Amino acid sequence: MARATPKRCRQGGCGKSTINRHGYCDTHADNANWGRYGKQQSAKGKRVHHTKEWKSISPKIKALAGNICLNHLLKTPSIVVDGKMITEHIIPVAKGGTEDYSNLSCFCVECAKVKTAWERNKSVNEILRRYGHTAITLYKL
């Protein structure tokens, strides 16, 4: 098996070479910047969905929705989709959304993926126009 090509150490002013994946030579392997970067990467996506509050809210929203995808249920014609459901923020937390029930909905995995991909470059008003009708507080299921 071929060995990795040696590269210059990422530490400023260090002229040593390394084949380590993190890019630091053995002298600078415990570099504080690398540790911070690694922690940020491992925490990515866990800011909201791994909090104690979210873990208590999510099952409640699914129960209120009857474990049914509200996006499919409210389309014309109405379709009841059964399977794995996800509690989804209508307005993402990154765009100012809250943990309030009026900002939460229950989607199937497929609808959640489509919504997440679609909303990346959309404004809050555009998101509300397309998905605001799925808020759990608007329906008694």
Residue range of the domain that includes 13: 7-43
How does DSSP assign 75-118, residue by residue? SSS-----S-EEEEESS-GGGT--SSGGGEEEEEHHHHHHHHHH
Q: Which two tokens stand for residue 40?
A: 């940020």
The overall average pLDDT reported for the chain is 81
Q: Are residues 56 and 117 both part of a single domain?
A: yes
pLDDT of residue 95: 86
Beta bridge partners of 105: 88
Domain assignment present for 14:
yes
pLDDT at 17 over 60: yes
What pLDDT shows up at residue 36? 58
Give Cβ neighbours of residue 25 (< 8 Å, ≥ 6 apart). Answer: 9, 11, 14, 16, 17, 18
Q: Which residue would you say has higher pLDDT here, 26 or 30?
A: 26
Indicate whether this model's pTM tops 0.75.
no
Which of 27-31, 61-65, 129-133 is predicted least confidently? 27-31
CA distances from 42 to 15, 48, 119 (A): 29, 14, 24
Q: Which residue has the tokens 């909090």?
A: 51
Predicted confidence band of residue 31 (pLDDT cuts 50, 70, 90): low
Residue 125 predicted with pLDDT over 90: yes
Tokens coding 107: 């989607």
**Is 63 found in the same domain as 106?**
yes
Predicted local distance difference test score (pLDDT) of residue 54:
83
On whether residue 2 sits in a domain, the answer given is no
Non-local (6+) Cβ contacts of 92 within 8 A are 119, 127
Q: What is the total count of domains within the chain?
A: 2
Segment of 20-24, 40-44, 67-71, 126-130 carrying the highest mean pLDDT: 126-130
Q: Same domain, yes or no, for 84 and 104?
A: yes
Question: How would residue 127 be classed by pLDDT, with cut points 50, 70 and 90?
Answer: very high
pLDDT digit string, tens, across residues 53-109 = 888 889 999 888 888 888 888 877 777 877 788 999 999 888 888 888 899 999 999
Burial of 9 (0-12, 13-18, 19+ CB in 10 A): buried
